[in-house]
């Protein structure tokens, strides 16, 4: 028992004594070690918002997609926020619903998600940004002529949710300290939809982008 007691004292001494010396060192020097992180009080944080216009193709049909982004700019180089987009034009296509007859159908939908990204040389008048949106969305296929003799506007044939990943590349110009314009492109990659008239590949495509941004850049 005495040997166990002695060994315990030695182990505690080995652990505690170096810590005591380490703590005394920092008290004497008045220096506090701070863990470096992306979001800490020493970083430059500012908010931003933007209105986005996208021209793309859905089901081989030209379409306009409108949306917005909002979030934080960290140290003028990193973006964190949210983004959301919706189909803004009347998108009509010929489809084969459950009736088995080819009919003119309409597509409605949108998507939203988390926005992350980086900015290269943000203080330059012209610079490049790399936004990436990770999220989900939903689409609905409707037959506006399903009730030709009724006042009803249409009939929803099917709807589905999906996952979306959209990386982009944009050229930005600093108009003022709080206003930027951006032009570029993105690739919308959609998976997980469950529709009979529309496939994931019908929703996946390139897009040309234009944006007006406001914030503390």
Express each pLDDT in 46-95 by its tens digit: 999 999 999 999 999 999 999 999 999 999 899 999 999 999 999 999 98
- Rounded to two decimals, the pTM is 0.80
Give 158's contacts (C-beta < 8 A, 6+ positions apart).
Answer: 97, 140, 141, 195, 196, 197
**Separation between Cα atoms, residue 84 and residue 68, nearest integer Å:** 6
Residue ranges in 50-144 assigned as alpha helix (H): none
Q: CB–CB of 131/118 below 8 Å?
A: no
Q: What is the mean pLDDT of residues 173-186?
A: 96
Query: What is the spatial distance between Cα 15 and Cα 107, in angstroms, rounded to a whole number?
Result: 68
Residue 152 has pLDDT above 70, yes or no: no
Q: Is the pLDDT of residue 23 over 90?
A: no
Residues 65 and 85 sit within 8 Å (Cβ to Cβ): yes
pLDDT score, position 147: 65
Residue 11: pLDDT over 70: no
SS3 state of residue 160: strand
Residue 150 or 19, more confident: 150
Instruction: Give the model's pLDDT for residue 209.
Output: 98
């Amino acid at each position: 028992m005495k040997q166990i007691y002695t060994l315990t004292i030695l182990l505690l001494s080995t652990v505690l004594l170096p810590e005591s010396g380490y703590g005394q060192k920092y008290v004497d020097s008045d220096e506090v070690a701070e863990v470096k992180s992306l979001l800490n009080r020493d970083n430059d944080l500012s908010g931003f918002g933007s209105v986005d216009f996208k021209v793309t193709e859905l089901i081989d049909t030209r379409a306009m997609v409108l949306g917005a982004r909002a979030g934080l700019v960290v140290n003028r180089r990193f973006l964190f926020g949210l983004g959301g987009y919706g189909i803004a034009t009347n998108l009509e296509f010929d489809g084969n619903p459950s009736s088995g007859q080819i009919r003119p159908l309409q597509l409605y939908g949108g998507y939203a998600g988390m926005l992350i990204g980086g900015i290269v040389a943000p203080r330059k008048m012209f610079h490049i940004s790399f936004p990436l949106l990770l999220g989900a969305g939903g689409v609905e296929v409707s037959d506006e002529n399903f009730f030709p003799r009724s006042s009803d506007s249409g009939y929803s044939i099917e709807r589905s949710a999906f996952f979306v990943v959209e990386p982009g590349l944009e050229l930005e110009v600093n108009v003022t300290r709080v206003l930027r314009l951006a032009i570029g492109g993105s690739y919308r990659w959609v998976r997980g939809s469950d529709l009979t008239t529309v496939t994931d590949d019908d929703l996946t495509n390139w897009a040309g982008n234009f944006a007006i941004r406001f914030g503390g850049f």
